[in-house]
Amino acid sequence: MSFTALAEQLLEEAKKLDSHVAAGRDVSNLATTAGAPDHKNFVVQFKESRERAINTANEFLRQAYGPRDYVREKLSSGTDNISFQALYRYDIPPKVNEKTGTTFTDLAKQAGVPEEPLARILRNAVTLGIFEEPSPGVLAHNAISRSLLDPYWLSFMGFVAQDLVKFHTRALDAIEKWPAVSEPTECGFSLAYQSKDPLFLHFEKNPEIAMRAGKAFRAVHNTTDDGSIWQEIDRPGAVMVDVGGGHGHIAMAIARATRHLKCVVEDLPGTVEITKKEIPPELEGRVQCQAQDFFTEQQWKGADVYFFSKIMHDWSDAYCIKILRNLIPAMKEGSTVVVNEWLVPEQARAENAQRFIRLADLTMLSAHNGKERTKGDWRKLFKEADERFGAVEFVEWPWTNFVHILSVWKP
């Protein structure tokens, strides 16, 4: 397609996006799934226009760069990581004065690192559009750097730039060494950290990474407080168990969005200790937590829903089957397993919508030998775990990036 044709296509979407902004809609925080139905319609419409705009703009960029420069630009992400690491490690965003900006000299003093390399590293961030340098030697916030004032979001940057990147660089070595690609102790992470434990057990023994990872999960996993399943089961006595619920952010959101539902957060003992402190007094009784290793028999019997948010993608099929089978002694007729994850399309395309899914898939591969799954993969998984799991349903919400994958227990 010609540059002009692409630009015209982009202009069409740009006008739609501008009309949303002109209508006074907040386009800065589309991540939320809460809110009135008109908000959801807006998000759906906005998302569609935005996706088309991003895809067209990306195609324009590919053509404008030309093949070699395009590849070179994409290869630069490893080098950019130095800037991302520094932003997190030296806690730069809150150190930059929001009104006046802050000099590199001051930032270096506050961070306790030499000024010259820090300035070079931060100037690279400016070339990425994160921060500005309004006058030589001064770093100032812009809209993108301001998002990093959220400590959870900054932790996400730290977790990706400091931790995940190490696993990624050893992923191929791990595949060559352990071609079965199944064990959580035989992946890029295992080589990078010389660990004999699976990733989350390693975190349990290393509270600093565990805290960073917990905050990172909280920053990116948009809540699933919406969707009829929670409203349908919201009656006195109803229980949902959030298996591997981390710091309880999802359970708390669901408790807030319902009236009666009791939410039980389960995780490894170290995480549960942190979660206990996160539950606010007004949710006591509605949200509680307990230690539960999901590779052992489920202790909470007869729950209405056993919920797994971004758990199964951490594990290869053999381990997911163990996790599902450990529920069987606890389930009553009609107990529903609800999995919240991305769905992988069968065919790859150069589309923005697939970007994060495919990146997450490779992260799962290098962090645990886990994977993101297609619809067919999910059906196969439940069937292999036990024939008594009912037909697998997929509830897609166009206003979120995630899907609920449901199966009802029919003994």
Contact residues for ligand SAM, defined by CB under 6 A: 200, 217, 221, 244-246, 250, 267-268, 271, 292-295, 309-311, 314
Query: Which C-beta is closer to ligand SAM: that of 188 or that of 245?
Result: 245
Residue 259: CB minimum distance to ligand SAM, A:
23
Rounded Cα gap, residues 173 and 272, in angstroms = 34
Pairwise CA distance, residues 405 & 411, whole Å? 19
In the bound state with ligand SAM, the residue whose beta carbon lies nearer, of 101 and 184, is 184
Handedness of CA 196, 192, 402, 217 (dihedral sign): positive
Cβ of residue 291: shortest distance to ligand SAM, in angstroms?
Answer: 8
By beta-carbon proximity to ligand SAM, the closer residue of 93 and 244 is 244
Nearer to ligand SAM, 118 or 405 (CB): 405
User: CA dist 233 to 8, 33, 310, 332, 336, Å?
Assistant: 49, 19, 22, 14, 11
Q: How far is the CB of 320 from ligand SAM (least distance, A)?
A: 12
User: For the range 197-204, what are the long-range contacts, defined as Cβ-Cβ under 8 Å and sequence gap of 24 or more?
Assistant: 198/368, 199/314, 199/367, 199/368, 200/268, 200/314, 201/268, 203/270, 204/268, 204/269, 204/270, 204/271
Q: How far is the CB of 310 from ligand SAM (least distance, A)?
A: 4
Strands 262-267 and 239-243: parallel
Q: Residue 3 is which amino acid? A: F
Judged by CB, which is closer to ligand SAM: 131, or 308? 308
218 with 246: CB under 8 angstroms?
A: yes
SS3 (DSSP) at 237: coil
Q: How far is the CB of 86 from ligand SAM (least distance, A)?
A: 26
Select 56 or 298, whichever has its Cβ closest to ligand SAM: 298
Q: Minimum Å distance from CB 293 to ligand SAM?
A: 4
**Which of 209, 233 has the CB closer to ligand SAM?**
209
Alpha-carbon Rg for the chain, nearest whole angstrom, is 23
Report the nearest approach of ligand SAM to the CB of residue 294 (Å): 4
Instruction: Note whether 148 and 157 are within 8 A (CB).
Output: yes
Q: Within 13 Å and on the Cβ side, how many CA atoms surround 266?
A: 21
Q: Please, what's the b/e burial string for 384-395 (b: 16 or more CB within 10 A of its CB; e: otherwise)?
A: ebeeebeebeee
